[in-house]
Structure 1
Amino acid sequence: MTPLKEQTCRIMIVDRSEVARSIISHILQKEMHNAYIVTCGSAEEALEYLHREKFDLITTSLLLPGLDGLDLCHEIRKSEKQHLTPVIVVSSDADRRLLREGFSAGVTDYFNKSLGYKRLVEFIKDVSQRHSGLVGRVLYVEDSLSTAQGTQTLMEKHGLYITHVTSAEEALTLLKNTRNNPDNARENEGFDIVFVDFFLEGQMTGGDLLYAIRTQLHCSRQEMPVLVITIEDNRDCQAEIFHAGANDFITKPVIEEVLIARVKSLLLIKHQYNVLKRYSRDIYKLETTDSLTGTHNKKFLLEEGKTFIAQNPNVCMMMVDIDDFEKINEVQGHIIGDHVLHLLGHFLASSFPEQAIVARFVGKKFTVLLSDCTLDKGKALAENLRQKTIALKPEGLNITISIGLTSSEGTTKPKLASLISDADSALHTAHEQGNNRTCLYVSHQID
């Protein structure tokens, strides 16, 4: 199941000058890391490639040996595979023939070569983004098998991945399963858009499915764009379609260019939603990661720790502190001290399972929140950690740690604040007893 994601952009450059091809290709590779580039010295060579491969964008000089750029564009528009591919014609000026015949030949745009190669690359990038390839998964709901077969073939020809079902009930089940399955919870899996016939036969119509997507699944128009197909093109029908929650609609019979334009527009909406979602996650990760040590920070512990405890009945909390860390800063300097913290943070993060919450609590103190962990198991883990820290020797320095340990055992409704306070109290006792040890907080008594 191929997702909507950043896809390799396949670009063809046609220019009679080998130097020009090399320069454009080199700059493009630097500017577009996802670009796959093919260069050709003639229209004839280009057409040989186009018979074998599909490209997302073609740029060609107007003047070529043999067939020229406009002749090449004519041939591209005749191609079943490439006839919607954007074509940029590059010329030293917009001569009359280019202006007169270019757009009738199917030229998407033209570029003035005198502006230079870097400007050309920027232009190619812009056109590529505006005409980005159709990459995504479509849930297609159509009860007419004959209609579905032709439309599905048409969409697949443009690189879309289609899952066809004949009823709204089946479509809703698929959407629910995709939404509820943890393996499909990531943005890179599941369906990117829904394409549904508004007047389906059966208990649920296309309108009912659309309403369920918006109200039962709580998917916004950005999270799950929906394109509706209908046989009626009147204002009342259009109002009903949009009121039900559709992003857009088309009417039967399907016109290829119209359908692909609508789908492309909705895939862009979905792509933008995914980008914003990723951006939000990245921002949250920055906000909740300690920049020095790479562990989570106190904000993350306080925000996520409560949910962690609620979902895991038996948890252990460690409060870890570097012994006599102030002396390292005084003798070795703060840069060395920061490096010691950095190394210890990475060491702690790598010492526990991924689901554990390892966080820099404050200064030289770290917390470790472990799930499915009894106090005895926690003590064994803490002692193992303490011994390994002795052998760590960051920056060639001998360091030790003290650990305060507590557990939620015997507590009906453990609270994060109480676990932190108890672990800190146990840590205080460890320091009082001479450092380099683990102390346990049990039933308000410290062992």
Structure 2
Amino acid sequence: MAPQTNVQPVSGHRAPLRRILVVDGSEVSRTVIRRTLEEALPDAEVLVCRSGGEALSLLDASPVDLVSTSLRLPDMDGLDLCRHLRRHKVSANVPVIVVSGDANARLLEGGFAAGVTDYFDKSLGYREFARFLRSFLARTAGLVGRILYVEDSATTAHHIMRVMKNHGLEVIHTQSAEQAFELLSLAQSAPESRKAPFDVVVTDFYLRGSMTGGDLLHAIRARLHLGQQELPVLVLTSAEEPERQIEVFHAGANDFVTKPVVEQILIARIRSLLTIRQQYAALRKQAEEMHHMAITDSLTGVHNKCHLLRQGERFLADRRNQPVSVLVIDLDRFKHLNDSYGHLVGDRILEALGGLLRECLREDTLAARFGGEEFVVLLPRCPLEEGCRRAEEIRQRIEHLYPEGIQVTASVGVACSEQHLHADLPSLLAMADKALYQAKQAGRNRVCA
């Protein structure tokens, strides 16, 4: 007699056409989009409607696999439509693509918060839109993600793992919450280059051992400080009482599936949580890029003056018991170079100097463009003599750089906190600037301290 499992299989049948709903207020756009998609996606059924209200009525009557909506509709905007879709069980997990020519940072953030799956820039044209949707449907036909699955029943684990793997998921299985927590801790503490984070945790709520599924949830949220977007958790539970299900959410779960598990429901829930995780990753990457732009000089790639002044004092304070050398580097006769070769060549010279500084300085060094052709470098654990030696190395490398085939030289002023224990950043910059003036007066292309 075959063992009883906690998975209800779905009977095999030929996969139906992928159904795409296009919502656009323009009749011309609807007609062209429909024709283009039907030509490019022969295995898809394309439905169209003109408003958010029509789209919601259609979805109540018949589910779809993907919704594409323009940002502006006659009765609501595309983000409002997405919010409505996310509130209804039948459409809560349907991917939503917003088509817009203005996907700025605020719109992206608001859209992801509303549940938008992705954006498409309509200025790229209808054919590119068809290619975009074809690629999107191909990616979502099978799931992509790394799942940590916690289940102490070998029979249940075998069948649910098979379901998840059949849908393209990478599954790491542990039989206890303790093992799962250890894996999560190791993944979080690994060096950035070796990180292999999990995308979703799927766990039974009532596990044998000293640590239950609920304890694991508390540990993920309170001890590892991983929020619901950073690491979504799906709980599998046999409890049908509302009080027990509320307990699952209070523990920190994103969602739950009741046993016996229905394959389609399990995969729909995992797909939804993977989308949350992907949106979080996209927002985090965007935030990191915006922060990088805010602290970086766009021309040279080194830090900008604002970042230097904001972080310089902290840089010194963190190294109060270590000598820090301050270098002020100024290109010689740069105005003459600009007048002779033009500002475009001048910009390329500055760009080359920025590249040289990024290449030859350590990661713990703070280098910034202070303004015009002047750069500042803060060297940690660097006494004055060593600072002068490093400055001379930089000066020589600049002299042999020949950007745009032009020989460029620089003068460098050096000051060190070792000789001025209580000096702040402006004072050290003033001393290094005074040394730079001496280098200029002595004939340029030299280092002075």
TM-score normalized by structure 1?
0.67
For the residues of structure 2 that align with 1:439 and 1:365, how far apart are their CA atoms? Answer: 16
Q: Determine whether 1:232 maps to 2:239.
A: yes
Alignment CA distance shift 1:343-1:184 (3 Å): closer
| 2:396 alignment counterpart | 387
Give the letter for the 1:192 counterpart.
Answer: D
Tell me if the contact between 1:178 and 1:184 (Cα under 8 Å) persists in the aligned partners.
Answer: no
Q: Deviation per CA, 1:54-80: give whole Å up to 9, x if none.
A: xxxx9546xxxxxxxxxxxxxxxxxxx
Counting matched residue pairs gives: 340
| 2:335 alignment counterpart | 326
| 1:181 alignment counterpart | 190
Alignment CA distance shift 1:413-1:326 (3 Å): same
User: 2:400 aligns to what SS in structure 1?
Assistant: helix
Q: Determine whether 1:341 maps to 2:350.
A: yes
For the residues of structure 2 that align with 1:120 and 1:405, how far apart are their CA atoms? Answer: 56
| Aligned-pair CA distance for 1:268 | 0.4
For the residues of structure 2 that align with 1:109 and 1:433, how far apart are their CA atoms? Answer: 71
1:142 to 139, 151, 157: 151
Give the letter for the 1:177 counterpart.
Answer: L
For the residues of structure 2 that align with 1:223 and 1:421, how far apart are their CA atoms? Answer: 45
User: 1:338 aligns to what SS in structure 2?
Assistant: helix
Give the letter for the 1:393 counterpart.
Answer: Y
Q: Determine whether 1:196 maps to 2:209.
A: no
Alignment CA distance shift 1:265-1:108 (3 Å): closer
For the residues of structure 2 that align with 1:424 and 1:59, how far apart are their CA atoms? Answer: 65
Alignment CA distance shift 1:351-1:172 (3 Å): same
Alignment CA distance shift 1:325-1:134 (3 Å): same
| 2:269 alignment counterpart | 262
| 1:285 alignment counterpart | 292
For the residues of structure 2 that align with 1:332 and 1:322, how far apart are their CA atoms? Answer: 15
| Aligned-pair CA distance for 1:327 | 2.5
Tell me if the contact between 1:360 and 1:366 (Cα under 8 Å) persists in the aligned partners.
Answer: yes
| Aligned-pair CA distance for 1:339 | 2.8
Give the letter for the 1:247 counterpart.
Answer: N
Alignment CA distance shift 1:177-1:120 (3 Å): closer
For the residues of structure 2 that align with 1:167 and 1:138, how far apart are their CA atoms? Answer: 15
Alignment CA distance shift 1:216-1:120 (3 Å): closer
Q: Determine whether 1:377 maps to 2:370.
A: no
| 2:225 alignment counterpart | 218
| Aligned-pair CA distance for 1:373 | 3.4
For the residues of structure 2 that align with 1:369 and 1:161, how far apart are their CA atoms? Answer: 46
Give the letter for the 2:445 counterpart.
Answer: N
Tell me if the contact between 1:318 and 1:367 (Cα under 8 Å) persists in the aligned partners.
Answer: yes
Q: Determine whether 1:430 maps to 2:439.
A: yes
5+ residue gaps, structure 1 = 1-12, 14-57, 62-87, 92-105, 111-115, 441-447
Tell me if the contact between 2:238 and 2:258 (Cα under 8 Å) persists in the aligned partners.
Answer: yes
Alignment CA distance shift 1:119-1:430 (3 Å): closer
5+ residue gaps, structure 2 = 1-16, 18-39, 48-62, 68-124
| Aligned-pair CA distance for 1:314 | 4.8
Give the letter for the 1:262 counterpart.
Answer: R
| Aligned-pair CA distance for 1:400 | 1.8
2:325 to 306, 313, 316: 316
- After the TM superposition, which residues 83-102 of structure 1 pair with which residues of structure 2 at under 5 Å, given as runs? 88-89=44-45
| Aligned-pair CA distance for 1:374 | 3.6
User: 1:392 aligns to what SS in structure 2?
Assistant: coil
Q: Deviation per CA, 1:282-319: give whole Å up to 9, x if none.
A: 11122222122222212333445455556664543321
| Aligned-pair CA distance for 1:248 | 0.2
Tell me if the contact between 2:41 and 2:134 (Cα under 8 Å) persists in the aligned partners.
Answer: no
1:248 to 238, 243, 255: 255
User: 1:260 aligns to what SS in structure 2?
Assistant: helix
